[in-house]
Amino acid sequence: NKKAGNGKANGQPNGHAQQGGEGDQTLTTRQGHPITNNQSMRTVGNRGPATLENYQFIEKITHFDRERIPERVVHARGAGAHGYFEAYGMVGDEPIAKYTRARLFQEKGKRTPVFVRFSSVIHGGHSPETLRDPRGFAVKFYTEEGNWDLVGNNLKVFFIRDAMKFPDLVHAFKPDPVTNIQDGQRIFDFISHTPEAMHMITFLFSPWGIPANYRQMQGSGVNTYKWVNADGQGVLVKYHWEPKQGIKNLTQIEAEQIQGKNFNHATQDLYEAIERGDYPEWELLVQIMSDEEHPELDFDPLDDTKLWPEDQFPWMPVGRMVLDRNPVNYFAEVEQVAFGTGVLVDGLDFSNDKMLQGRTLSYSDTQRYRVGPNYLQLPINRPKTHVATNQRDGQMAYYVDAGPAQNPHVNYEPSMLGGLQEAPRSGADHTPYVQGHVVRQKIDRTNDFKQAGERYRMFEDWERDDLIFNLVNTLAPADRRIQDRMVELFTQCDEDYGRRVREGLEQARANNQQTSGPIGATSANEGVKEAEETG
Ligand code: HEM
């Protein structure tokens, strides 16, 4: 409640608090000039023409002209919130220090501030939040040792295992470059050549592809990382977020009913829950595996199309996260926040997961372009700890991050004139030994269908029914060769899976269904919907 709401009370002749004083509500230009008329341009007479020295008008309009930055190439639509992470100090019944020396985890009850951004992937910044899409789940931990970003999704696996394929995957899912319409035929043309995607496709076309909102969904780091202890020993680790609110997903028809009335329902749900003090909470759990190739497993531990079986690698809680504060400004916080898989703290490390390595280049690269080279100076991205680099200048540099002890003339290292110095080591280095031929090859243990088939069989009946319904609706208008290849792949996952999609497609052909459109949408495919309902 600003004090200058009623200017008279503060005794200033113009009815405002003293300019620049606390509570001053005077509208100014960015140059600090008070604006006495915000309604009319300066013109020659009240019918124009306008004049070019109209600084106040030009500043207002030209800034407006630049209000947008490029949106994220993927994950453009999102919602965010602030909160905290609270450590348990343990992993299972062991002290966590046995596996990682990362300080944020060590002490039971220790709180680290976080900012989380949830997102959908394919469509633009104001697209409906009911679309079938993985959901992004990105967490920035502002730790005492600098920032840690855990950039994951809700489905725990991914479509591909080699970063080389990412732009093609995204192009196939994005709208057709000619019609600007998302097209199931293009998607399944690509997927029919990408058998490793079957696990993710089985999730995505089931109700798990449309979470009811952001509060009632899981999260996962998906890629395999490492933890490193004080002795420099590493283990492989996978991260999972489990919502205290439970998990809720939508059928295609339920999603369409919501979308007809509200295309912002997930953002609204998150914002309103936090406003009313109903703070969403997730537990962070990890799976740990020794840092080896594990030839005894029928999958490669670094393959992000696979889950690690819970009976062999139990989910072990390490902390909880609560979101308790909405952003003050969507653009400054949710739009400009920049997460990346390369942002780790001491005690957390990369594995050799090829996807993770490809991703790690991509995030900071796109952010230097999307937000600008000094994106890490923005309050939402800046660590809440000591930051001191010899990086200088570039667009929008607005401070020099040297401490008072530093000689301002020395922006290089080493120096004896008072420049920045290297930090002492905080534990033994983790120094994995790597040897091999430089190649372009797939991994050996691809095993593309087994976990997808297990997932199909694990679903409840209504989930399986919705999966078949959505796949048939999306595939029905596609080229027959693509349909046949997909049926072959579904059959390799599970015979019943393949049979049901094949029969659905035969029925759609009998109904002569031809319309293409967004994935799974029934509106474009009324014929199939009726066939499923009656048959
Ligand atoms: C966002 C690249 C795989 C989760 C992004 C962005 C890029 C990107 C360029 C936009 C970032 C920005 O503008 O700030 C890639 C590449 C991948 C890949 C090259 C594979 C090689 C994945 C996977 C996941 C994932 C496997 C899930 C585990 C996310 C999330 C965001 C995102 C959650 C949104 C972050 C935010 O809210 O700002 N990705 N990605 N990505 N990606 Fe990926």
The pLDDT confidence band at residue 425, using thresholds 50, 70 and 90, is confident
The length of the chain, given as a count of residues: 535
Residue nearest to atom 22 of ligand 1 (CA): 359
Tell me the C-alpha distance between 272 and 392, whole Å.
41
The pLDDT confidence band at residue 534, using thresholds 50, 70 and 90, is very low
Alpha helices in 122-221 (DSSP H): 166-173, 184-191, 198-204
Query: Can you tell me which residue has the tokens 């489905």?
Result: 155
The pLDDT confidence band at residue 399, using thresholds 50, 70 and 90, is confident
Amino acid occupying residue 463: E
Tell me the C-alpha distance between 529 and 96, whole Å.
52
Q: Which helix (H) or strand (E) holds 349?
A: strand 348-350
Q: Flag whether pLDDT at 60 surpasses 70.
A: yes
Q: Which protein residues touch ligand 1 with a CB less than 6 Å away? A: 72-75, 78, 117, 119, 136, 138, 151-153, 158, 163, 166, 222, 337-339, 355, 358-359, 362-363, 366-367, 370
Q: Is 473 a catalytic residue?
A: no
Tell me the C-alpha distance between 492 and 453, whole Å.
8
Tell me the C-alpha distance between 29 and 198, whole Å.
56
pLDDT at 6: 37
pLDDT at 531: 41
- Please name the residues in contact with 406: beta carbons below 8 A apart, sequence gap of 6 or more: 388, 418, 419, 420
Closest by Cα among 96, 102, 140 to 288: 96
Q: Flag whether pLDDT at 2 surpasses 70.
A: no
On whether ipTM exceeds 0.95, the answer is yes
pLDDT at 466: 97
Amino acid occupying residue 310: E
Amino acid occupying residue 414: P
pLDDT at 523: 52
CA angle, corner 365, sides to 364 and 368, nearest 5? Answer: 80
Q: Flag whether pLDDT at 504 surpasses 60.
A: yes
Q: How far is the CA of 162 from the centre of ligand 1 (A)?
A: 14
Encode pLDDT of 315-348 as tens digits.
999 999 999 999 999 999 999 999 999 999 999 9
The residues facing 249 across adjacent strands are 211
Q: Which two tokens stand for residue 303?
A: 């393959």
The residues facing 286 across adjacent strands are 239, 316
CA angle, corner 225, sides to 100 and 228, nearest 5? Answer: 25
Best residue for ligand 1 mutational test, from 68, 69, 71, 75 (most atoms within 8 Å of Cβ): 75
Q: Is 447 a catalytic residue?
A: no
Closest by Cα among 501, 462, 453 to 478: 501
Mean pLDDT of the chain: 92
The pLDDT confidence band at residue 225, using thresholds 50, 70 and 90, is very high
pLDDT at 518: 57
Tell me the C-alpha distance between 338 and 383, whole Å.
12
Tell me the C-alpha distance between 334 and 380, whole Å.
8
Tell me the C-alpha distance between 287 and 242, whole Å.
13
Residues 495-520: what's their mean pLDDT?
84
Encode pLDDT of 84-114 as tens digits.
999 999 998 999 999 999 999 999 999 999 9
Top pLDDT among 16 and 200 is at 200
Best residue for ligand 1 mutational test, from 68, 73, 74 (most atoms within 8 Å of Cβ): 74
CA atoms within 13 A on the CB side of 342: 12
pLDDT at 13: 43
Strand residue runs (E) in 48-95: 78-87, 90-91, 94-95
Residues 177-197: what's their mean pLDDT?
97
Residues 29-50: what's their mean pLDDT?
94
The pLDDT confidence band at residue 11, using thresholds 50, 70 and 90, is very low
Alpha helices in 221-325 (DSSP H): 252-259, 265-275
Active-site hit among 16, 75, 82, 123: 75
Closest by Cα among 224, 343, 217 to 288: 224
Radius of gyration of the chain (CA): 27
Query: 165, 194 in Cβ contact below 8 A?
Result: yes
Residues 110-138: what's their mean pLDDT?
98
Active-site hit among 16, 82, 153, 470: 153
Top pLDDT among 461 and 20 is at 461
CA atoms within 13 A on the CB side of 482: 18
Q: Flag whether pLDDT at 243 surpasses 50.
A: yes
Residues 406-433: what's their mean pLDDT?
91
Query: Can you tell me which residue has the tokens 């009811």?
Result: 212
Residues 443-470: what's their mean pLDDT?
98
pLDDT at 398: 86
**Furthest-apart CA pair in the chain: how many Å?**
86
Ligand 1: which atom is nearest the Cα of residue 337? 38
Q: What is the pTM of this model?
A: 0.93
Give CA torsion, residues 161, 167, 173, 177, to 10 deg.
Answer: -160
